[in-house]
Structure formats: C-alpha cells, structure tokens
Structure 1
Amino acid sequence: MYVTAISPVVLTIIIWIRALTLPGAMSGMAYFITPDFNRLAHPEVWIEGSVHGFLTLGLLGTDGHDWNDAIIGTVVTVSYGLFNGLVIFSVIGVVLSHESGIPIYKVITSGGFSLGFVAYPQAITYFPVPQVWAVLFFIVLLLPGMDSQTLLMEPVFCVIEEIFPDTIGKRRIPLLTGVTVITFLLGIPLVTQAGIYMFQLIDWYTATWSILLIAVIESIVYSWIYGGDRLSRDFQLMLGRPLPVFVRVSTAFITPGVLVFLVVVSIFKYKPPSYGNYEYPGYAQIIGWCFSIIPIIPSIIYMIWIVKNQDGILKKRLSSLLNPSVDWKPADKKARPVYQGLERNYKRSFKDLILFNLMGRGGYEQGTRETEDKHLEMDIINKDIHV
C-alpha cells in the first residue's frame, strides 16, 4: 500500500516538472484554474460533482478510523485531485495545443474517460522519448487502481467471511484467489475492441442516480430512523465527543435535501448514452438500466425477506424493524450496561428528534432524571475506555 499510494505521487510530480519545461505550461494551468461561473447553472455539473465526490471519498470510509482521519483524508484527496488537474492541463491543454496550434478549449472537447485515456496519452506523444513518459503515465494509472481495488474488495471479503465464519471465513487465501479470478474473467470483455463501449455503458448507468438514491436512504436512516441523537451518543462513546454540529445538520437536512433534488433533476435531464459520435441503440439502453437497478435489488430482496419473517401485523413488523437490534451494543463490556440502560429508557417524539438534529437539543437531552444519571455514568465510563 505504501508503494501503490506514494509512487503515483512521485511519478505525477516527475511528469509535471517535465511538462513545465515545455512552452505554454503556465497558460494551460491558468485555463484549468480559471472558473466559468455560467457552468454552475447547469444541473449536470452538480450531479457529476456529487457522484464524483462519492466515488472519490468513498474509499476513505473503508480505511478511516476517526474524525481526524476523515478530515485529513478528504483534504489530501481533494488537494491531490486539484494537483492532477494542473498536471493534466499542463500536458494536454498546453503541449498539445501549443504544438498543434489549436486553442485549448477546442482540444479539451470532453472529459472523463476521453480526457484521461485518449487525449492525455496522445499529448504525451509530443514529449521527447514519448515511450518513457507513456510507461510512467500508465504506471500512475495502474498503481492507484490496484490500491483502490484492494480497499473496495476488502469489505466484500469481510462480509463473506462473517456469513460463513466456520468454512470460508477460515480460508482467506482461497477466497482471495477465487474472487480475484472471477473478477478478472468478468473484466476481460472490457479490454476487447468493443470494451470502451461496454465500459461507457456501465459507467453511464451505474455511477449516477443509483449512488445518489442509496446515499439519500442512508442519510435518512442515520438521522431520522436510527436518530441523530443515538448517532451522537455512539459518536461520543467512541471518540469522547458528540457529533459535530455541521455533520449533524448536514446529515439530517442538507445532504438528503440536495441529493433528492439531484435525483429528480437527473431523471428529468436523462439523455441516452453516447461515446463520441456513436449513439447507443435502444436495447443497449435497456441493458444499461438493468446495470443501474442491480445494485439496489439485493437491498429490496433482503428488506422483503426480513419483513416476511417478522411476527405480527405489517404495522407491528415495520415498527419493530425500525428500532435498533438488541444485539447492537458497544464492544467494550464496561459500557454495555449503561448503553443498554439508555436504550431501555429511550423516549423521544419526532419533534424532539427535529430539535436535536437542528440544534442539538431534544431526545436524551430532555429525558428523565434516570436518563440524565445514565448520561453522567456514560461520561465517567468514557474516561476509562477506548473504543
């Protein structure tokens, strides 16, 4: 991980330094950092930005440990992304434009896949000894790909091992080998002559509204079903401080509101996929919508299955399922009695929850004397345990 995380940074700096020695580097970077505020009026910009945020920062959730990790990881990721933009535009927007005599805005006709895998390698051919720079460029792409794939697949392995603890759970090497072989075989079609069209179709549908919809559901579950007050309590137990104000308000109000708006806009602004001048036929769009629905289907199936296996009428089943499981408790045994006592005395109205999510008051904070005593006991325990 040290090699795959640090080497691309070093190689990117080398490519950037070489680009700076060629004519027009500063004008290319100036083009990159010069804002076009008219673009903010286009909903597609906000949709692409939000999706890119989930895809980029989602990796931090698999490897972070606390609030500081989240902040540092976000700052580093965004900063490195901006630096990569400077490097790309110092190569594409400057070298290619300078050598060909074409204005930068005409060279940069599209972004995404075309920018990184078509225009950028083409621009490297203008470097002296282009073979060397091409090798460096694809190493820069390969190593972070291996790094991110490792982080993305680790939760998959953990889930499989926890479902089958006595069999597969004890055989990490065979599991790793099997999943690697299967995913390798599934990826072969994407490196054929038609691979770019398959990749574009999958990326067009799987990396858009389904991600936004899942994020909306998650924020609602955290803040309004499990409850922001419970979440803040758990946060304090683990880190010794309550949920930060911005995170509380953002998770409860800003995030779901903005994402619901973007989901609606993405539906009304939908346009069929295309790659260059190629327009995908109707059957390909149907396949694409299937790709888009697949990530959501397991959650729907599991939801139906778990509701079906509950006892009582439907209203009672839903009510019981919307409460935390009795098995949900701290890992530290010292904190369990206090934590479970708080849960037994947990009483708050929806109005209390709104007040807490908005101002940090309500729910537990306005509870009974017994609840307040439990809070005091929890504070004492917090000084003695580290989760």
Structure 2
Amino acid sequence: SRDALIGSMADGLTSFYGGFVIFSVLGFMAKEANTTVDKIATQGPGLALVAYPEAISKLPLPPLWATVVSGMVDAFPRQLSKWRAPLTLALSITSYLISLPVATKGGIYVFQLLDWYVAAFCVILTSFLECIIIGWIYGVERFSADIELMLGTRPSIVMKLCWCFITPFLMLVAFIFTIATYTLPTYDGYVYPDYANAAGFVISVIPLLPIPFFMVKELLSRQGSFSQRLRQSLQPDPTWGPSQKEYRPLYAQKLPHKRTAFKAVFQRNPINGTRVHLTSSDV
C-alpha cells in the first residue's frame, strides 16, 4: 500500500510540476509575441512539437534544453553480444533516417498520424495481454513471490484482483470502445488520404509483431506435439530467478509450485492423464 501511495503521489506531482514547465514557457512566448497565453496555447501535439520547441530555441543555450538521452537493450544478449556496437550504430542510423520526416516542415502532420494510430490500439492491447500473462499464465502467486523477495511484503488481495480481473476487463472495454468510436485522423482541418490511413494502420501493427513472433519462436524451440509444446511454453524458464546466486535458494523456497488457473484448465495430470480440477487455491 505504501508503494502504491508513493507511486500515485509521484505521478500526480510530476504532472503538477509539468504544468509549471509548460505554462512558464507559454508565458515566455506570450511575452515575446506581446500577446496573451490563450492565443499562444494550442491543443494536441501542436503544443509539444510546434510551440514548445519554438520557445526552447529562444532560451539561452537552446541545445542544452533540447538534449534527449536514450538507451537501448537488445533481446538477444547471448547471440548478439559480439555485435552490440555495430548493431547499436546501425539501429541509431536507421532510427535517425526514419525520424527525419517528423523533423520537416510538415512533420506535425506525420506525427499526428503516428500518434493517432499507435496510441489508439497498441498501448491498450499490450496492457491487456500483459495482465493476462502475469495473472493467468505466469501466475499471480508466482508474481507475488517475486515482489515479496524484492520488497519484503506480498501484494494485497486487491492488487491480485486488479491484475487478474479488474484491469484486463477495463482494458478490454477500453479497446472495444476505441474501435466502436474510431474516426479517421485529421489535423487543423486537413483530412488524410486513404494511403496515409493504410500506412498508419500498418505502423500501429508493427509494435505488436514481437508478440506472435516470440510465441512462434518459443513453440518451435520445444519438442513434442503441439499441445506438449504449448504446455512447455507456458512454464517459466528454469533459469529465471535472482541475478545473485546466493538468493536463488531463498527464491526457490518461497516460490509457490501451484499451477495457475490457465494451466489447471488446459494441462492434464501427468500420472493418470485426466484433467486437473480447478480450485480457488490455484488462482
């Protein structure tokens, strides 16, 4: 409960602090233009990508305020560890070339198209799948044991209910509502052509491609029939645990060896081949 309170307060105070940053810049722009703030402020991405950069360019040492630092972590550390430097360089150059259209005079229209499609479907669907994986495939009790090992206390029953039922339900409702109320993107009276909407839809699907890719990759790496491969893929990696070896025995001792509700429904008993009966303790 303390961590949840700290996280909520930090999120709220960050937004409050962000208001000071935004409106101080808008006040600076209004003074420079000899007008009022309501005539400077714009809704949507225009505030962050048009008005705000223009104000930063007028501040002392504009490159200092415009600096953005980012990092990259690869998904194949063993296979690609020897090629980290050239791959990082290639990815940086590719990202730079792809982002050039957004930096042009008409870049705000490109950004509006990307923001319209990517933020509409990808984030909600990914959040829904993440809750399903944590609560029903990896297991909420196993996930709670991981948190207990790191923080010393187990999550409350309220958090478990949110992970398993409330949050995925809300994400599913939000996804259905987004589809039902979907409209074609526009910006400042400009209507995007059909090919732009098709490109935006394709771009919105790209962040979701790693999910089926790694699912198929995991199934192909297993042995046996499809059902056997599926059951093996639904089990956590045996090497998963604390990075420090001295804590692994404690982790194994505290780890609940119960099946998740998902596995209890689809996994057969290895002794007599019958289906396992689902009980409330399996959730």
Q: Unaligned regions of 5+ residues in structure 2, if any?
A: 265-279
CA deviations over 1:346-380 (Å, ceiling 9, x no partner): 235739x9xxxxxxx9359xxxxxxxxxxxxxxxx
CA deviations over 1:7-65 (Å, ceiling 9, x no partner): xxxxxxxxxxxxxxxxxxxxxxxxxxxxxxxxxxxxxxxxxxxxxxxxxxxxxxxxxxx
Residue 285 and residue 161 in structure 1: after superposition, are their counterparts in 2 closer, same or farther (change >3 A)?
same
Contact residue 29 and residue 40 of structure 2 kept, 8 A? no
- 2:164 is aligned to 252
Matches within 5 A, 1:150-189: 150=70, 153-156=71-74, 159-165=75-81, 167-169=82-84, 171=85, 174-189=86-101
Shift, 1:306, TM fit: 2.5
CA distance in 1, matches of 2:12, 2:261: 37
CA distance in 2, matches of 1:264, 1:141: 40
- 1:272 is aligned to 184
Shift, 1:251, TM fit: 1.9
- 2:224 is aligned to 312
Matches within 5 A, 1:82-161: 82-89=16-23, 92=26, 96=30, 100=35, 104=38, 110-120=42-52, 134-135=58-59, 142-143=66-67, 146-147=68-69, 150=70, 153-156=71-74, 159-161=75-77
RMSD of aligned alpha carbons: 3.7
- 1:261 is aligned to 173
Shift, 1:340, TM fit: 4.5
Residue 221 and residue 96 in structure 1: after superposition, are their counterparts in 2 closer, same or farther (change >3 A)?
same
2:227 pairs with 1:288:
no
- 2:239 is aligned to 327
Contact residue 122 and residue 204 of structure 2 kept, 8 A? yes
Contact residue 137 and residue 234 of structure 2 kept, 8 A? yes
- 1:17 is aligned to none
Q: TM-score, normalised by structure 1?
A: 0.57
Contact residue 231 and residue 243 of structure 1 kept, 8 A? no
Contact residue 138 and residue 260 of structure 2 kept, 8 A? no
2:257 pairs with 1:346:
yes
CA deviations over 1:199-258 (Å, ceiling 9, x no partner): 221221112211110111011111111111111112222232212444333222222121
Shift, 1:83, TM fit: 2.6
- 1:362 is aligned to 281
CA distance in 2, matches of 1:121, 1:239: 41
Residue 72 and residue 212 in structure 1: after superposition, are their counterparts in 2 closer, same or farther (change >3 A)?
same
Contact residue 219 and residue 256 of structure 1 kept, 8 A? yes
Q: Unaligned regions of 5+ residues in structure 1, if any?
A: 1-66, 125-131, 354-360, 365-387
CA distance in 1, matches of 2:8, 2:61: 24
- 1:45 is aligned to none
Residue 74 and residue 272 in structure 1: after superposition, are their counterparts in 2 closer, same or farther (change >3 A)?
same
After the TM superposition, which segments of 4 or more aligned residues of structure 1 sit over 6 Å from their partners?
Answer: none
Q: What SS does the corresponding residue of 2:235 show, helix, strand or coil?
A: coil
- 1:79 is aligned to 13
CA distance in 2, matches of 1:324, 1:200: 40
Shift, 1:332, TM fit: 3.7
CA deviations over 1:75-134 (Å, ceiling 9, x no partner): 4454232233245346648985996579x4x765x5231123334577x6xxxxxxx872
Contact residue 223 and residue 251 of structure 1 kept, 8 A? yes
2:126 pairs with 1:211:
no
Contact residue 228 and residue 252 of structure 1 kept, 8 A? yes
Give the alignment partner of residue 211 of structure 2, picking from 292, 299, 303.
299
CA deviations over 1:158-213 (Å, ceiling 9, x no partner): x3544323x225x4xx4443333232222222222332222221221112211110
Residue 137 and residue 270 in structure 1: after superposition, are their counterparts in 2 closer, same or farther (change >3 A)?
farther
Q: TM-score, normalised by structure 2?
A: 0.76
Shift, 1:325, TM fit: 2.2
CA deviations over 1:117-154 (Å, ceiling 9, x no partner): 334577x6xxxxxxx872359658623xx13xx1xx33
* Pairs aligned (count): 265
- 2:153 is aligned to 241
Identity of matched residues, %: 29
